Amino acid sequence: MLSENTIHFMNRVIKLSEDNLNNNKVPIAAIVVDSSTNEIISEATNGDAVLDHAEILALRKALDKLSTNRLNECDIYVSIEPCPMCATAIAKTQIRRLYFGAEDKKGGGVINGPKIYSHSNLKVPEVISHCLVDETGNLLKKFFESKRN
């Protein structure tokens, strides 16, 4: 069962993802939260450039805002399973906990694909998957259906 905080932050991720979907962009969003204060430190959505993934953008904003190289007191909430690049960036910044909604069976890097966190050379965050999975999965379905029509 998800906590009230998890539901609150995942709903924020869903809202940001919906905004991206309404702008005809990939509906993926991420937020970084200070785990001790429950304050949102940063938020981002997927951009237009190939490396502008929501997770990378949110991590960079949080690192800049906190003037640090580590986010070990922070959690990240993402609408979909991070890709291998983003999963590695999350580990490298030492995020405490990763929450995500829908699995990405084709491009994921956490519980699918290369399973980045199975490599012993990384500081692995605690992973809480399938958060509000129906809501997050439906956004992606809508996006790809619109591209086929």
- Determine the pLDDT at residue 76: 99
- Determine the pLDDT at residue 147: 76
The Cα 17–Cα 26 span in angstroms is 8
- In the block, tokens 């993402």 appear at 78
| pLDDT values of the chain reduced to their tens digit, one per residue, 149 residues | 899 999 999 999 999 999 999 999 999 999 999 999 999 999 999 999 999 999 999 999 999 999 999 999 999 999 999 999 999 999 999 999 999 999 999 999 999 999 999 987 889 999 999 999 999 999 988 888 887 87
- Determine the pLDDT at residue 140: 86
Does residue 59 contact residue 82 with C-beta atoms inside 8 Å?
no
Q: Which of 55, 81, 103, 135 is catalytic?
A: 55
- Determine the pLDDT at residue 111: 97
- Determine the pLDDT at residue 121: 87
Question: Is 55 among the catalytic positions?
Answer: yes
The Cα 102–Cα 78 span in angstroms is 9
> Following DSSP, what letter does each residue of 77-105 receive, concatenated?
EEEEPPPHHHHHHHHHTT-SEEEEEE--T
- Determine the pLDDT at residue 117: 96
Q: Which two tokens stand for residue 74?
A: 């922070």
The length of the chain in residues reads 149
SS3 assignment, position 144: helix
Q: Which CATH number fits domain 4-147: 3.40.50.20, 3.40.50.970, 3.60.15.10, 3.40.140.10?
A: 3.40.140.10
